[in-house]
Amino acid sequence: MRRPFDVNDSVAGEEREVNIDSEIAFEEAHSARSEGVLERAGDVRSRSRTLIILLFLVFGSIAGRLYYLGVLNHKYYFAVADENRLRIEFLPAPRGAIYDRNGEVLAGNRPSFELVALPLNLPKDVSKQAEVIAGISAMAELSSDEVSELIFRDGARQFQSIAIKQNLDREKALLFFEQEKQLPGFRVLNTPIRDYASPLSYAHLLGFVGKINPEEYQEKSGSGYLFNDTLGKTGIESVYEEFLRGTFGERQVEVDARGSVKKVYGEKEARPGQNLVLNIDAGLQEALYESLAGRLAQSGKKKAAAIAMNPKNGEILAYVSLPGYDINEFAEGISRERYQKLQNDPSQPLFNRGIRGLYPPGSTVKPMVALAALQEGVVAEDTVVDDEGYIVIENVFGGPDAFFYGFNRRALGRVNVRDAIALSSDVFFYTVGGGYEPAEIDGLGIDKIAAYYNQFKIGDVLGIDLDGERAGLVPTPQWKKERFPDDPEQGRWYLGNTYHAAIGQGDVLATPLQVLSWTATIANGGAVYQPYIVNRVEDNDGNVIRQFAPLEVGRVEAEERFFEVVREGMREAVLSGTAKSLSTLPIAVAAKTGTAQFDAKDLDRSHAWFAGYAPFDDPQIAIMVLVEDGGIGANVAGPVAKEGFRYWAEKDAVK
């Protein structure tokens, strides 16, 4: 039996022999592997040395090239880099067109040459720069200082073009192209500019466009405006700028040192602005403008306004303010001297009288006072007042009694409310406004008069789509006290103040637009509409982008039967009263004239007013005419309105 601890020598010997052989084999194998590793390590070191040499050669070559470019040939390659630039150029976009209600173009665009500076391309050498500016100055007919001021003024952007001369004539543009290589930093561009068909008659309605100034640029640059941009400054051009303004196109170009395009890499076309269709009737506009301008030329007066409206919805059918000015001058780039002349003109041609002028409205308020007196029961439609040409109020404070005279101190006899409107009886309206004991009429009193004036929106803006509308003034005892806080005598409200307020004199003030508005409100039976000029906005395919609708902004609380009485009185004014000159028209007109004193030192001076509507039984148009310091309304303003109504009547007849 084999013991577990016995050793089999033979087997053990074999095993030992085998183990010795394995160790020898292992050592041989290990030796072989070591030799291989050593051989491979040698290869790696060899390759590393080669790589290091190669890298050294590459970097050395780069360093040498940089030295060659940056040091040895610095000036040459700087010039090459300076003369070849990639830039984004902006392509001007035409403004949207403006049309009248019948599709007649009132404002379009025409091509024009514009001289601009590109500051980045100006010569770096100061003396060379001065030479170039001197050459441009002669071409632009500006002094070198003026050109330099335009280029280097505060806020100028060196990377944007700067307008030097707009509306450059063709001969000068051709001269520039011949000398372009000698005038680096300047270019002549073909830029569309505004073109107005009737620049004088539409001056205050359409307004004008002009180059953006540095202050405007600071405000609008975030909205995509450029330093050499154009925008609407006044009128419809300003109010509807967001629609009329087009979208600039862009192109990527390579230009040389003179700014000349060497290569175009890509282009995105400019998009024209959207178009406006107005409520304005161009024929009516011209009829009122020509008649009013002719009347002023005959009388020697210069300041006037005429506006027409649809009483049923507030559409402005015509809008004239005189004196006007040539709005094409602004589009073409008005000179500083010409602009200063307009600003300093005593007739104030830049002043928009239709919405900014405040005047005593005179007798044009009488239909409102008559309506208030009827509605409040102060008088009935058959109440009679004896107009002796004046009334006398005893002076309870001592001193002489106060006399309040009618126009021309003429006695009109016994008049009811219709007669009083037709004949414009001041005595009747003194009586119903402030009361008169001999007539046994208490009168409305200033508080009720003011309340009805406020219902007609005197003292408030109507919201027309033009900038700068003023609110007018309705005087009250509280207003007067606040106006003269340190003078109790001046701050006291007298009965005479009420009398004057009842006939549109004293401190009552209104704009011509407000006079037109309350005339339209009486015509339509009490609705006060927001006046609006623009009917709709269209894209260039004729699709309506935005449609404007009538908006009622107030209502006069009075019975329709009282409106009817007042309208009948206004019709009588045309048939047999102060507006009789319009009775021959082929259209039935209802009207109220006004002759408003405004100079306490010369009571013979007065503003001439006319306000009326037609047809009498179906009001479709209301017209207001004002001639400042014009005299008698019926004689001066009435004939202008007559031509407007005549045009409208013949226009409808043609249809």
pLDDT at 74: 53
d(CA 158, CA 120): 6
Q: Is residue 3 part of a domain?
A: no
Q: Would the pLDDT of 155 be above 70?
A: no
Q: pLDDT-based confidence at 68, cuts 50/70/90?
A: low
> Would the pTM of this model clear 0.85, i.e. be above it?
no
Is there a single domain that holds both residue 338 and residue 201?
no
- The last residue of one of the domains, among 72, 105, 128, is 72
How many domains, the chain?
Answer: 3
Distance from the Cα of residue 284 to its chain's centroid = 23
Integer Cα distance of 362 and 515 in angstroms: 10
What is the per-residue pLDDT for 601? 86
Residue 31 has pLDDT above 60, yes or no: no
Q: Are residues 359 and 485 in the same domain?
A: yes
pLDDT at 13 over 60: no
Structure confidence at residue 27 (pLDDT): 46
CA distance 402 to 498: 13
Query: For residue range 580-635, what is the model confidence (pLDDT) as tens digits?
Result: 999 999 999 999 999 999 988 898 899 999 999 999 999 999 999 999 999 999 99
Find out whether 611 and 368 touch, Cβ atoms under 8 Å: no
Number of C-beta neighbours around residue 597 at 10 A? 17
In percent, the amount of the chain with pLDDT more than 70 equals: 85
Please give the pLDDT value at position 45.
Answer: 62
Above pLDDT 90, what percent of the chain?
A: 60
Q: Residue 46 falls within a domain, yes or no?
A: yes
Reply yes or no on whether the pLDDT at 298 is more than 60: yes
Q: What is the DSSP letter of 225?
A: -
**What gap in Å lies between CA 226 and CA 512, rounded to an integer?**
38
Q: What is the mean pLDDT of residues 239-261?
A: 79
16 part of a folded domain:
no
CATH code, 554: 3.40.710.10
d(CA 429, CA 199): 43
Asked which of 7, 41, 72 is the last residue of a domain, the reply is 72
271-294 exposure pattern, b = at least 16 Cβ within 10 A, e = fewer: ebbbbbbbbbbbbbbbbbbebbbe
**Better pLDDT: 94 or 312:** 312
Residue owning tokens 């003396």? 127
Which CATH number does the domain housing residue 121 bear?
3.90.1310.10
Kind and range of the H or E run holding 523:
helix 512-524
Q: Are residues 92 and 65 in the same domain?
A: no
Q: What is the CA radius of gyration of the chain?
A: 43
Do residues 62 and 186 both lie within one domain? Answer: no
The pLDDT of residue 378 is 98
Q: Are residues 151 and 194 in the same domain?
A: yes
Say which range, 121-130, 332-341, 356-365, has the weakest mean pLDDT: 121-130
Weakest-pLDDT range from 166-180, 268-282, 540-554: 166-180
H or E stretch at 649: helix 633-654
Question: How does strand 385-387 pair with strand 413-415?
Answer: antiparallel
Q: Which helix (H) or strand (E) holds 434?
A: helix 426-434
The reply to whether 458 falls in a domain is yes
Same domain, yes or no: 112 and 66: no
Q: Looking at the structure, do residues 264 and 120 belong to the same domain, yes or no?
A: yes
Q: What is the predicted pLDDT for the residue at 18?
A: 38
Find out whether 378 and 432 touch, Cβ atoms under 8 Å.
yes
**Residue 176 or 328, more confident:** 328
With 70 as the cut, is the pLDDT of residue 210 above it? yes
Same domain, 268 and 293: no
Higher pLDDT, 47 or 6: 47
- At residue 290, does pLDDT exceed 60? yes
Which has more confidence, 182 or 649? Answer: 649
In the numeric block, the tokens 């009571």 are attached to 603
Where are any strands of DSSP class E within 156-314? 162-168, 186-196, 209-211, 230-232, 249-255, 261-268, 275-278, 304-309
Burial of 560 (0-12, 13-18, 19+ CB in 10 A): exposed
With bands split at pLDDT 50, 70 and 90, how would you rate the model's confidence at 242?
Answer: very high
Q: Hey, CA dihedral for 162, 165, 169, 175, is it positive or negative?
A: negative
Are 496 and 435 within 8 A, CB to CB? no
In this predicted structure, what is the pLDDT of residue 654?
A: 44
Residue 294: pLDDT over 90? yes
In a domain, 381, yes or no: yes
Supply the pLDDT for residue 168.
Answer: 72
Q: What is the pLDDT of residue 2?
A: 39
In a domain, 590, yes or no: yes
Which residue has better confidence, 227 or 31?
Answer: 227
Is residue 191 in some structural domain? Answer: yes
Task: Choose the most confident range, by mean pLDDT, from 3-17, 242-256, 394-408, 492-506.
Answer: 492-506
Average pLDDT over residues 289-300: 95
The domain in which residue 381 lies consists of 287-654
| Rounded average pLDDT over 124-145 | 81
Query: In angstroms, rounded to a whole number, what is the distance separating the alpha carbons of residues 264 and 249?
Result: 14
Mean pLDDT of 104-125: 83
My answer on whether 48 and 134 are in the same domain is no
Domain membership of residue 23 (yes or no) is: no
Distance (Å, whole) CA 356 – CA 628: 13
Give yes or no for residue 417 having a pLDDT over 90. yes
Residue 238 pLDDT exceeds 90: yes
Query: Is residue 198 predicted with pLDDT exceeding 90?
Result: yes
Question: Does pLDDT of 304 surpass 50?
Answer: yes
State the pairing for strand pair 527-529/552-555: antiparallel
Which pLDDT band, with edges at 50, 70 and 90, does 112 fall under? confident
Residue 267 has pLDDT above 80, yes or no: no
Question: In a 3-state reduction of DSSP, which class is residue 22?
Answer: helix
Confidence band of 23 (pLDDT split at 50, 70, 90): very low
Question: What DSSP element (H or E) covers 387?
Answer: strand 385-387
Per-residue burial over 332-355, b = 16 or more CB atoms within 10 Å of its CB, e = otherwise: bbbeeeeeeebeeeeebbbebbbb
Q: Is the pLDDT of residue 33 over 50?
A: no
Task: Give residue 249's pLDDT band: very low, low, confident or very high (50, 70, 90).
Answer: confident
Mean pLDDT of 305-318: 98
pLDDT at 35: 47
- Distances from the Cα of 391 to the Cαs of 241, 453, 584, 618, in angstroms? 55, 24, 35, 38
pLDDT of 47 strictly over 90: no
User: Which residue has better confidence, 146 or 457?
Assistant: 457
Q: Which residue has tokens 């405040």?
A: 358
Helix residue ranges, H only, 576-615: none
Q: Which of 72, 107, 139 is the last residue of a domain?
A: 72
Dihedral (CA of 49, 55, 57, 60) sign: negative
| 49 and 138 assigned to the same domain | no
- Average model confidence (pLDDT) across the chain: 86
Whole-number pLDDT of residue 64? 66
Q: Is 389 found in the same domain as 325?
A: yes
Residue in 454, 457, 433, 456 with CA at minimum distance from that of residue 445: 433
Residues 61 and 186 in one domain: no
| Nearest-angstrom CA–CA distance, 106 and 536 | 15
* Number of other CB atoms surrounding residue 233 within 10 Å: 19
